Chain A
């Protein structure tokens, strides 16, 4: 009886609350009053954190293996941590981030990117990918993230098959990078026309961006490196470090889940004067609050 359901939704005010999969609303607002689960998926590892009705972080966990195996093993536990099985999923593999120029910045580009990405990306659009982007506030440069469409669909199917629903699918590394860049530009931590280097890591994936003279000049990204291989990560950003001037500020942000890895990274980055600008529970806050 759809009419009765509609009336019930109006009288219980549910019709005025955002749907758990409304991409235009922050996860905190979407999940207000209901428990949800935040999951970060790597190629052979997954970690998760539960959020209670008040938006506070609760139980956490991690397990090695592919998402399909982990989800089927943990399905009951994950369902018990949510109301109606809604999850916010972060895919931390099968994506690439690139530096682009002169992409469309029309007013509703975020909505268009979901519904008609070709209208935003033009010739750069590939139908086998799903996209997210972040524009430089002052120049025509854009960070473009492209994730495999098949990976997204697989993740959705796996969750659906285990009685869970994907309310949002994003890329945790790109989200951390975007949030910290916004913070740097909004709080004017550096001169907008100046130079800096931003390094972001998320459970074995790394991205590094260099701005020189107000322009994004270099970007490197690598996924699926694992959290034990700090040396390999430092090697990824090595060529960028060589390009920047000696006094250039370097910012480092990580997922906040592995303090040992973060300390190891900072030991390697201290020589170039890096500042750790990671917030507490960085990854979960990005997934659960924004």
Chain B
């Protein structure tokens, strides 16, 4: 990524500067502090043979227990556990403070605005003045977090990689919903935003273009390809959920009824607050935040690892409220009622059917993704029997920006994009 210093006088910079998480801060702190506060009681339960111990730790705990041979050992052990638990809580808090004070700010992407419709923008990373004569490709991120996970920072940018390999990336920047978007359903985003953006990119190319969708963006681009297939040459889906009624239970399905209940209590037309979605992410693993901030506390602040942490953590905690109809469709329609998998998700007045997607399709979905189960993404094979499936071998976000992203996702994607898929 060729980057420039961020303009902190812009409203966007002001907003993003205030959004440093972890969000919701109160929930993260409550979880982490409770975990360490209760550790001493946990140690006593270990001795008493009570408590809720998962099978995965029981053998090690039993071995640990056998080390204690006297009352004195146990009492010193309890004291040490409580002291060290308090220390871990302090380290976690120090990690958060260090993150909040870290001077790193992600450089703005070097792109020009090609099209703006409502509050949504199409960013062109290879405008003519840059001399880029690459092949146009449309990249569509999720509506949940910001677009720039696809161009996070130098060396961790799919956009940069594609640009360096003969492509001219166009990236959708959903931005905060404006007055018009606040009344949108998901289908409106597809037909009134993505479709005109695709028109523009295909117009520049003078031919159908490849389209990539990441996460929820993949589900949107599936509908786009079904509705505007004549302009899509290839469809690459990265961790794109489709069938939510998987055999294996998943976090989203469990959270859907909670979200449905919460949505029903919100005032009519009130967008879904960012923190409601962030609460879901937090609950997938309530220990993650503590572990990563304690690790960050020990990092050299000037290291690339520390800057990557700050960039990614800020991205994770940044988001826009979801328009109410979008939230209803996604949380209730998709996750609870599986409208997509049952082909009852309506876009432009008709259900989205996979048989209407006629271009070559690549479905990348990692087995270890806890947000979008691989089974949900791979379920598209039922309607797209000729699609290619691929496991990037990393987590939901790690596969896109982690240390193995280049070999695990970007290079296999490029190879597929470059292949001749003619039957």
A binds B: no
Which residue numbers of B lie inside 8 Å of A, CB to CB? Answer: none
Which residue numbers of A lie inside 8 Å of B, CB to CB? Answer: none
